[in-house]
Amino acid sequence: MDRTFSIIKPDATKRNITGAINNIIEKNNLSIVAQKRIKLSKYKAEGFYSAHKEKPFFNDLIEYMTSGAVIVQVLEGMNAVKKYREIMGATNPENADDGTIRKKYALNIQENSVHGSDSDENAKIEIDFFFDESEIINN
């Protein structure tokens, strides 16, 4: 089984729609095999998004990602990385397909409700950044 890493972002935790998002994840045959509600420190958020350090939106992104609780998750299923990217929809909700999480719930290109890893390699790095293997429980 393949794994991906997911974050339900502060815009979604604030609006009390984490269950609705988990419902979409599970309906699409991805299993939530680890999950915790945390508040990202500035240090942790900057580390997580270090690839975007030079982007003009970086400081706003860090402020937003530390503005409230997030849910970090490990999702398991066939082709988990690709499948979750499809379920999430485009970064900018204006370009997201119908039926995707971002089309349904994202507020704008920044407050776009969810993160999902973009490769198997990054999925492993991101999972290791937040979880010990012992916290990932697949029955």
Q: Which of 61, 69, 107, 136 is close enough to bind ligand ATP by CB under 6 A?
A: 61
115 noted as active-site residue: yes
Whose tokens are 């429980």? That residue is 137
Rounded least distance, CB 96 to Mg ion, Å? 14
Q: Which of 115, 116, 130, 131 is catalytic?
A: 115
> Among positive and negative, which fits the CA dihedral 73, 83, 9, 18?
negative
Q: Of 83 and 115, which has the nearer Cβ to ligand ATP?
A: 115
* Nearest-approach distance from CB 8 to Mg ion, in angstroms: 15
Smaller CB distance to ligand ATP: residue 92 or 138? 92
* Distance in Å, CB of 67 to ligand ATP, minimum: 12
109 belongs to the binding site for ligand ATP (CB under 6 A) = yes
Give the sign of the dihedral formed by CA 106, CA 109, CA 110, CA 114: positive
- Of residues 95-124, which lie at the interface with Mg ion (CB under 5 A)? 118
Give, as one character, the DSSP assignment of residue 113: S
Residue 79 or 138 with smaller CB distance to Mg ion:
79
Query: Does 112 contact ligand ATP by CB under 6 A?
Result: yes
User: Mapped to the 3 state alphabet, what secondary structure does 31-96 carry?
Assistant: EEEEEEEECCCHHHHHHHCHHHCCCCCHHHHHHHHCCCCEEEEEEEECCHHHHHHHHHCCCCHHHC
Active site residues: 115
